[in-house]
Structure 1
Amino acid sequence: MTRETQPPPPAPTDPYPESRRTLHDFTVWMGQAAGEKQLFVQGPEHPLQHFQGDAVQHGPLKVLQCPLSSHNAKVLREILPNLKPQPLGLATSAGFGDRLGVATPGHVQALQAVGGRIRPIFAQQSIREMARTGRTPQQVLDDATWGAFQAGWTGTLGADADHLKTPEDIDRCAAAGFTFFTLDPSGHVDNAAGRDSAAVLQEKLGQLPWAALDTSETDLQRRYRALRLDLGHRTLTLDEEAITRAAVKYLPAVQQIQALFQHLQGKNIPFELEISVDEGDAPTTPAEHVFLASELKRLGVSWVSLAPRFIGSFEKGVDYIGDVDLLNLEMQDHALIARRLGPYKLSLHSGSDKFSIYPIAMHHTQGLVHLKTAGTSYLEALRVVAVTAPDLFTEMLEVAKQHFEEDRASYHISGKLDRVPVQPGNLPALLDHFDTRQVLHVTFGTLLQQFREPLMQLMEQHETLHLQGLREHFIRHLAPFAGA
């Protein structure tokens, strides 16, 4: 690998001067050619031969002009290893979902503006979102690579294969180069366990996979009845009923997580794990958190972050809904548990736009926190549409309203169609309206099927406006987490 030195001043005609990186024998940068973004490489034959492109005259220099292809993204990650995803460890981190594949430069600008210790995951998308946006894991990773390169990102970064449920989906994301794997065992969590009758609980208890988990009901009771976890302000204990309900609720999920973790281990790649039990209608109590983490540790599973289901509602695209004072008390317990039993980070899923609770999360976790955002970047793209193409935005909103009830089925949201303004006077202001945000947020798949081409054209034509909006929006998200 070549050694990096101080780059020369960028040429005045380069539209992305931040991208220019000079190593001791060649220079790479992003520019424009025939109205398209291109990679330019100037230097001796040895580094150039790995890229696919055409030799051209660029001012006084002969350079290789290359398309932003998957092959060239892979080569770029090899020669600029900071662009190659890697595990990020326990550092304060943030994930930036990007449904269009063009938001990463704005995310980089926000990170650069707040400074601090936040480590980024620019490539982050769930299998569900990939299906709805028509993208592959490789496209998600490559788009993030080009975006980070364009904006001049020189720090480390990760890549999150989000909400994985099957070995096959793990394989696809691992092959693309993802390093952060979020396991979602929600289909194996029994959310009714907290309210089941004693008779129903006993019936479910007998059906648990005891042999596969190498334990028994008797062992569980003995193990957790003796537990005393000092949280400073109180000592957490579990009684017989709490143990039983926690076992019914989470042991099948523990088995699923263990199986997927072992599958990942077998791939012999660098990776870190996030465990997500945030989906569902039953909050994760502190006692259940202790039970879940302890059982996973007993079975040899290791993870870097865990997303419990907090009290209240973490809905898409809007601020926290619930009693902030109660969340403050609960988050204190969850953060202390994560430090006592780990340490590992608490992960805030559906974390975008939760401005009222960011200071609480940072305070209690002391930086052991991962913020996960997704559709809020897409909404900022729609804000550009509202400003620059109001007729197109109005048409998109009407289609979104027609498909809202169908598309909302896989999301926990409380937005209502009848609260969306019928005759809005200020279209951009709709992107700050609770119900309109949620209607547009969950219908992205439908809208992209019908409007992808004009939407992407607008993002290209108004790139500066789009990235400026993202920068300002994400500074608000990141600033509370950027302290030392």
Structure 2
Amino acid sequence: MDLQKLVSDVHEILAANGDYSNLSDKDIYVNSIQVDVRNVYFDLHETVNKQTVKSLVVYEDRDDVKDFDARESIADDDKTLIVGDLNEQNWHALTKRFNWLKPTSRHGHKYTFGLGDRLGLASNAHLRLFKGRGIMPVLAQQSIRELLLTNRTETDVLLDAGWAVFDEGFTTGWADDGDHVKNPHEVDYAIKAGCTMITLDSTEKIHNEIADLTDDQLDAKYNALDDDLVKYFNDTYLDKTFKINDNASVHFSKKDVEQSVLIFNGAVQYAIFIYHKFIKPYNLDFEISMDEAIVPTTPANHYFFANELHEAGITPETIAPRFYGEFQKAIDYIGDVKRFEAEFVIHEAIAEHFGYKLSIHSGSDKLSVYEIIGRLSNKHGWHVKTAGTNWLEALRVIAHADPKLMQEIYKFSYENLDDVAAFYVFNAQTDGKAPKPETINDSNVMTLLQDDDARQVLHTMYGSILNYQKSYRYVFRDKFFKILKENQAQYDKYLIAHIAQHIDLLQGKAKTKAEVQAKYEPKD
């Protein structure tokens, strides 16, 4: 690398006074340029074998620059220029100079959007889309299961997102979500890795079996609780109607009280424990998932959960109920949209009453209900979580660039779908619904990304696809990443178009799914 040329580039940047549109070195990624008096920082994007290779360039006082891990360096008067890798040491050194590089809490941000980049290659495109939108992105959002299936760590996720923030000069704030953590050691791991947000998955504390009890069985189970608990819950809720606002109220019948307590009180107590052990001491952003129940969260269930937290002095940043209808992976909402809207009004009123925002889990592609969510959300706004959409847009790149490989991936996924049946609720079983692999060829392979059943097959199998080996060698993984990195611009295009559909509906810039699809749907 020509270090003297980079020194000249630095002086050109200093002389440009903020207008970098005509820099002579086209490998300088302009969005990344940061100037602090006479100190200069930026990323180089060089093309090597069709892939972009990134390096950090820092020009600082020679004593200060020692914070960085330099691959090469050159002196220039009282300054030193170094070139380094985009590694953990260099990112932490940059965060000492630029506080906006660090992930932070969503607190104070009305609208927030989780992006769940499973591959570590999507955040640049997402940030370009989110600039000026008034929405805080949660770039780093991975569950322990997702980390295991992609062979990544929380630190990998943090750094991939953090470097994209520097790359794009995104100064308005971002968050890092330790997503769907279930037990104390997972929470502790997420915190130590730098997560600023914890999404508590209380699956193991939610007693779904209660929903199947008869009324007599429910009575017996409830009345077997300690007398003081039964008295407290009956005195607090039984036959009570709680007015939330002028248009919404929640009434508790005997069944409402018994089901709310027996299904959810264990999860409430667990959330209180996690709050005092981790959330409060580390000043974390707290989300609680109620959506692991097997039946939709009723207004009474939701009010009970929120009120018990309130009585314990806890207001989370977000709560995720299980809404009416089906929020299956990678496809649109399934259910009566009018009923969803009617019930969303009540859930939103409860959230507003207790001072948090609703979180919509498995939000990828739920285009039919986004206009409702955006229109009905009030003072505290909304949080939406997506994830698989990034993976499917990556597969769109594969289908476009290497149709044969895409056909192999689909055939493998179709034939091994039972591998993930225990992890996901989805409709795309191999009973004739999803397209049969023998019907897919070079001319129609792109249709796999437009077919709901094929999308679910491909979405749910991401871990199996990436980890499948023969003779100790990955069958798909290396080819997949090579193609994706060689076609990063195409991937960025697909990512921006797809997430823009979500955002336009949430922000009221479009009214219908058909409208945003006509505007953004890729034509190739």
Aligned to 2:122: 103
Code of the residue aligned with 2:426 in structure 1: it is: I
1:278 aligns with 2:291: yes
Aligned to 2:504: 479
SS across alignment from 2:169:
coil
Q: Residues of 1 paired with 2:288 and 2:32: CA distance? A: 35
Code of the residue aligned with 2:368 in structure 1: it is: S
Residue range with higher mean Cα deviation, 69-78 or 286-295: 69-78
Query: Is the Cα contact below 8 Å between 2:364 and 2:389 reproduced in 1?
Result: yes
Code of the residue aligned with 2:219 in structure 1: it is: Q
Aligned to 2:278: 264
1:128 aligns with 2:142: no
Residue ranges of structure 2 left out of the alignment (5+ in a row):
1-13, 469-475, 510-524
Aligned to 1:147: 164
Residue range with higher mean Cα deviation, 404-413 or 123-132: 404-413
Query: Is the Cα contact below 8 Å between 1:165 and 1:183 reproduced in 2?
Result: yes
SS across alignment from 2:31:
helix
1:298 aligns with 2:317: no
Q: Residues of 1 paired with 2:272 and 2:147: CA distance? A: 25
Taking structure 2 as the reference length, what is the TM-score of the superposition? 0.85
Matches within 5 A, 1:35-50: 35=48, 36-50=53-67
Query: Is the Cα contact below 8 Å between 1:92 and 1:481 reproduced in 2?
Result: no
Question: How far is 1:77 from its partner?
Answer: 2.4
How has the CA–CA distance of structure 1 residues 108 and 343 changed in structure 2, closer, same or farther, with 3 Å as cutoff? same
SS across alignment from 2:208:
coil
Code of the residue aligned with 2:125 in structure 1: it is: G
Q: Residues of 2 paired with 1:82 and 1:324: CA distance? A: 40
Query: Is the Cα contact below 8 Å between 1:86 and 1:270 reproduced in 2?
Result: no
Per-residue CA shift, 1:404-448, capped at 9, x if unaligned? 111132111111233232323322221111011101101111111
The higher radius of gyration belongs to: 2
Which residue of the other structure, out of 352, 377, 381, is the alignment partner of 1:365?
A: 377
Identity %: 31
Matches within 5 A, 1:131-280: 131-205=148-222, 216-225=229-238, 226-265=240-279, 268-280=281-293
Which residue of the other structure, out of 79, 93, 96, is the alignment partner of 1:75?
A: 93
1:437 aligns with 2:451: no
Q: Residues of 2 paired with 1:276 and 1:25: CA distance? A: 48
How has the CA–CA distance of structure 1 residues 483 and 116 changed in structure 2, closer, same or farther, with 3 Å as cutoff? farther
Q: Residues of 1 paired with 2:446 and 2:31: CA distance? A: 30
Question: How far is 1:227 from its partner?
Answer: 4.5
Aligned to 1:453: 478
Which residue of the other structure, out of 398, 403, 409, is the alignment partner of 2:422?
A: 409
1:94 aligns with 2:113: yes
How has the CA–CA distance of structure 1 residues 15 and 440 changed in structure 2, closer, same or farther, with 3 Å as cutoff? farther
Taking structure 1 as the reference length, what is the TM-score of the superposition? 0.92
Query: Is the Cα contact below 8 Å between 1:194 and 1:245 reproduced in 2?
Result: yes
| Count of residues in correspondence between the two structures | 473
Which residue of the other structure, out of 417, 420, 428, is the alignment partner of 2:446?
A: 428
Which residue of the other structure, out of 493, 497, 520, is the alignment partner of 1:468?
A: 493
Question: How far is 1:379 from its partner?
Answer: 0.5
Query: Is the Cα contact below 8 Å between 1:94 and 1:372 reproduced in 2?
Result: yes
Question: How far is 1:257 from its partner?
Answer: 1.3
Question: How far is 1:480 from its partner?
Answer: 2.6
Q: Residues of 2 paired with 1:207 and 1:183: CA distance? A: 28
Query: Is the Cα contact below 8 Å between 2:178 and 2:199 reproduced in 1?
Result: yes
RMSD: 2.4
Code of the residue aligned with 1:280 in structure 2: it is: A
Q: Residues of 2 paired with 1:353 and 1:462: CA distance? A: 23
Q: Residues of 2 paired with 1:428 and 1:75: CA distance? A: 43
How has the CA–CA distance of structure 1 residues 166 and 371 changed in structure 2, closer, same or farther, with 3 Å as cutoff? same
Q: Residues of 2 paired with 1:116 and 1:463: CA distance? A: 23
Code of the residue aligned with 1:218 in structure 2: it is: K
1:350 aligns with 2:369: no
